[in-house]
C-alpha cells in the first residue's frame, strides 16, 4: 500500500510564504485533482512531494517512507522517494538529444540498473501503451506536444512508480492534443494508479478524480469528493474561481 | 618563388599540431575548471575564478615567455613546442571554462528537474543529460575560439617553434622580401581555417535539428 500523507507542510522563499500548513492524505489508488488560481501554490505543493523543492517544515510520507522536512534529506531516501513517485511536467522536459526510446530507457538503466536490452523492451511496452511505439526511433522535436507529453508519461512510468504527480500536464497543449493526454491519464487512473493532478481541466477534475483539493494563497481552502465540490462549492473563493473558469 | 612557398608550407604541420593539441588540452581541462567555478565551496570557486582571470587577461606571449624561460629553464627543461602547447592549452582551458559556463546557463532548468525527478543522480545527470546538450550549445563559440587560437599559435614562433609564422619570418630575413611572402602566409592561414569553419557549420546544423528549441 502506498498512501501519501502530507502533514503540516510549509514552504517559504525568504519571507514569502508559498505553502502554509498543508495537510491531506491520499489512499493508494486514489486520484486527486488540485485546482485553484495561479500563484496559489499548487505546483509548489506537487514539487514538494517529490522534493524537487524541499519544504521548510512538516512531514511528507509516501508508503512507509517518511521524510522529516526540517532534517537534511538522506540521498537514499531521496532515491526511494523518486523511484516511488513519478512526475510529469507542464513543459514535458523530454531529453532532446536522445531518441524517444532512449528517453524512456535512460532512468531504468541508471536508477534500476536494468540492462539496456531489457530496459528498451520495457520502454517499447510502455510506448505501445501510450500509443507511440512507431515513434521510438524519432527525436522528441519531431513529435507533437501531445505525443511528447505521452512520451513523458511513459518515461515516468518506466521506473514502475507507485504514484504519479502531474503538474498541469495539458496547459501547454491545444485542446485537441490535450485530450489525447487526458485519455492516457484516464486509462492510467483506471489501472489503479495513485495520482495527484494539478490541473485547470475542470471536466477531468470532476469526472476522473475521486477528490478535489482547492488551493488559494498557499492554503487548502476546500477539500472533498469531486462531484460535491464541483457542483456545490462551499467557500466564496471556490465559487468565484469555478465561475471564472467556467465562464470562459 | 616556388621554393619560398615550400619552405613556408613546411611550417604547416607544426601550426596544425600546436592548434590541435592546445585545443585538446583546453577542451579537457576546461571541464574541471568550469566545475570548480560552479562549486559551492568558496575557496574552490575563487581558485577557478583566479585561474580564468589570469589566463584570459595576461597576453599569450607573456605566458609563453613565462613558461619557456621561467619554468622551462629551471630543473625541468621544456622544448619550445611543449611550452607552447602548455601555454596555449591553459589559455584555451580558461576560455573553454567560460564557454562551458555559458552553455550550461543556457540550458533549460527543466532538463535538470526531469533528470532529478527520475532519480538520476548527479554524475549520470551530467554525463547523460547535461553535458551532451551543453557541448552542442558550446560548439559555435568553441569553433570561433579555435580559429582564433590557430592564428594565435603564430606567437609560438617567438620562442622558436618552427611553425608557419617562424618560417615566414626566417624567409623574410633571408631574402629581404616582405610583401609576397606574408601574402602567402596569410593565404595558408585562411586555407587551414576554412575547413574548420565548414565542418563546424555542418555539425552545428545537423545537431541543431535534434536539439530544436
- pLDDT tens for B88-125 read 999 999 999 999 999 999 999 999 999 999 999 999 99
Q: Which three cell numbers stand for residue B63?
A: 605566458
Q: Which three cell numbers stand for residue B65?
A: 615567455
Residues of B in contact with A110 (CB under 8 A): 120-121, 124, 128
Please, what is the Cα angle at B177 between B174 and B179, to 5 degrees?
Answer: 135
Q: With an 8 Å Cβ cutoff, are B113 and A93 in contact? A: yes
Positions of chain A with pLDDT under 70: 248
Chain B touched by A116 (CB under 8 Å): no
Phi, psi of B211 (to 5 degrees): -90, 55
Residues of B in contact with A82 (CB under 8 A): 116-119
Give how far B117 is from chain A: nearest CA, Å: 6
Please, what is the Cα angle at B107 between B101 and B112, to 5 degrees?
Answer: 105
Please, what is the Cα angle at A93 between A90 and A95, to 5 degrees?
Answer: 165
Chain B touched by A196 (CB under 8 Å): no
ipTM: 0.92
Q: With an 8 Å Cβ cutoff, are B110 and A91 in contact? A: yes
Residues of B in contact with A155 (CB under 8 A): 118
Give the DSSP letter string of A153-187: HHHHHTT--SEEEEESTTTTS-HHHHHHHHHHHHH
Q: What is the pLDDT of residue B72?
A: 67
Nearest to B161 by CA among B16, B48, B58: B16
Chain B touched by A96 (CB under 8 Å): yes
Q: What is the pLDDT of residue B77?
A: 79
Residues of B with CB under 8 A from a CB of A: 108, 110-111, 113-121, 124, 128-129, 132-133, 136, 209-212
Report whether A76 contacts A98 (CB < 8 A): no
Mind listing the pLDDT tens digit for each residue in A97-143? Answer: 999 999 999 999 999 999 999 999 999 999 999 999 999 999 999 99
Give how far A236 is from chain B: nearest CA, Å: 36
A vs B, Cβ pairs < 8 A, gives 66
Q: How confident is the model at residue B2 (pLDDT cuts 50, 70, 90)?
A: low
Residues 6+ apart with CB under 8 A from A180: A131, A146, A147, A150
- Quote the DSSP letter at residue B58: S
Collapse the DSSP code of B96 into the 3-class scheme (helix H, G, I; strand E, B; otherwise coil) and give the result: helix
Q: Which domains does chain B have, with CATH numbers?
A: 2-212 (1.10.3720.10)
Considering all CA atoms of chain B, what is the largest pairwise distance in Å, rounded to the nearest integer? 69
In whole angstroms, give the CA distance from residue A217 to residue A40.
5
Nearest to B141 by CA among B98, B87, B199, B202: B98
Question: Strands, DSSP E only, in A94-233?
Answer: 163-167, 194-198, 211-216, 219-225
Mind listing the pLDDT tens digit for each residue in A34-55? Answer: 999 988 999 999 999 999 999 9
Residues of A in contact with B126 (CB under 8 A): none
Out of A50, A110, A156, whose CB is closest to B128?
Answer: A110
Residues of B in contact with A138 (CB under 8 A): none
Is this structure's pTM higher than 0.90? no
User: Could you tell me which chain A residue has the CA closest to the CA of B136?
Assistant: A97
Q: How confident is the model at residue B212 (pLDDT cuts 50, 70, 90)?
A: very low
In whole angstroms, give the CA distance from residue B19 to residue B42.
33
Q: How confident is the model at residue B170 (pLDDT cuts 50, 70, 90)?
A: confident
Mutate to test the interface with A, among B106, B119, B122 (most CBs of A within 10 A): B119
Amino acid at each position: 500500500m502506498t498512501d501519501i500523507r502530507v502533514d503540516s507542510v510549509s514552504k517559504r522563499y525568504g519571507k514569502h510564504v508559498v505553502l502554509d500548513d498543508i495537510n491531506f492524505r491520499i489512499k493508494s489508488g486514489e486520484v486527486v485533482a488540485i485546482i485553484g488560481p495561479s500563484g496559489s501554490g499548487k505546483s509548489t505543493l506537487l514539487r514538494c512531494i517529490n522534493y524537487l523543492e524541499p519544504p521548510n517544515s512538516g512531514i511528507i510520507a509516501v508508503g512507509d517512507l517518511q521524510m522529516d522536512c526540517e532534517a537534511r534529506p538522506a540521498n537514499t531516501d531521496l532515491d526511494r522517494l523518486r523511484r516511488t513517485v513519478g512526475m510529469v511536467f507542464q513543459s514535458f522536459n523530454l531529453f532532446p538529444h536522445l531518441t524517444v526510446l532512449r528517453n524512456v530507457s535512460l532512468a531504468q538503466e541508471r536508477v534500476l540498473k536494468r540492462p539496456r536490452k531489457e530496459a528498451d523492451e520495457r520502454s517499447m511496452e510502455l510506448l505501445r501503451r501510450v500509443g507511440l511505439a512507431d515513434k521510438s526511433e524519432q527525436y522528441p522535436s519531431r513529435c507533437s506536444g501531445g505525443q511528447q507529453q505521452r512520451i513523458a508519461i511513459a518515461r515516468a512510468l518506466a521506473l514502475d512508480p507507485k504514484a504519479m504527480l502531474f503538474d498541469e500536464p495539458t496547459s501547454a497543449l491545444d485542446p485537441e492534443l490535450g485530450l489525447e493526454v487526458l485519455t492516457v491519464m484516464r486509462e492510467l487512473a483506471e489501472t489503479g494508479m495513485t495520482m495527484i493532478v494539478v490541473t485547470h481541466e475542470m471536466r477531468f477534475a470532476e469526472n476522473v478524480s475521486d477528490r478535489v483539493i482547492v488551493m488559494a494563497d498557499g492554503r487548502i481552502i476546500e477539500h472533498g469528493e469531486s462531484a460535491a465540490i464541483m457542483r456545490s462549492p462551499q467557500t466564496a473563493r471556490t465559487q468565484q474561481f469555478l465561475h471564472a473558469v467556467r465562464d470562459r | 618563388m616556388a621554393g619560398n612557398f615550400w619552405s613556408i608550407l613546411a611550417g604547416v604541420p607544426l601550426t596544425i599540431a600546436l592548434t590541435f593539441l592546445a585545443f585538446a588540452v583546453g577542451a579537457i581541462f576546461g571541464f574541471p575548471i568550469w566545475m570548480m567555478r560552479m562549486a559551492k565551496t568558496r575557496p574552490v570557486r575563487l581558485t577557478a575564478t583566479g585561474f580564468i582571470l589570469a589566463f584570459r587577461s595576461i597576453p599569450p606571449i607573456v605566458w609563453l615567455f613565462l613558461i619557456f624561460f621561467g619554468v622551462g629553464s629551471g630543473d625541468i627543461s621544456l622544448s619550445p613546442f611543449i611550452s607552447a602547447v602548455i601555454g596555449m592549452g591553459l589559455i584555451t582551458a580558461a576560455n573553454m571554462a567560460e564557454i562551458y559556463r555559458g552553455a550550461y546557463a543556457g540550458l533549460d532548468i527543466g532538463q535538470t528537474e526531469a533528470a532529478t525527478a527520475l532519480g538520476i543522480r548527479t554524475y549520470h545527470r551530467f554525463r547523460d543529460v547535461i553535458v551532451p546538450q551543453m557541448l552542442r550549445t558550446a560548439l559555435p563559440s568553441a569553433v570561433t575560439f579555435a580559429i582564433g587560437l590557430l592564428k594565435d599559435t603564430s606567437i609560438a614562433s617567438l620562442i622558436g617553434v618552427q611553425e608557419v609564422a617562424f618560417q615566414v619570418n626566417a624567409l623574410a630575413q633571408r631574402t629581404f622580401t616582405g610583401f609576397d611572402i606574408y601574402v602567402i602566409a596569410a593565404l595558408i592561414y585562411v586555407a587551414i581555417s576554412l575547413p574548420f569553419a565548414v565542418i563546424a557549420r555542418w555539425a552545428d546544423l545537423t545537431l541543431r535539428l535534434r536539439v530544436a528549441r
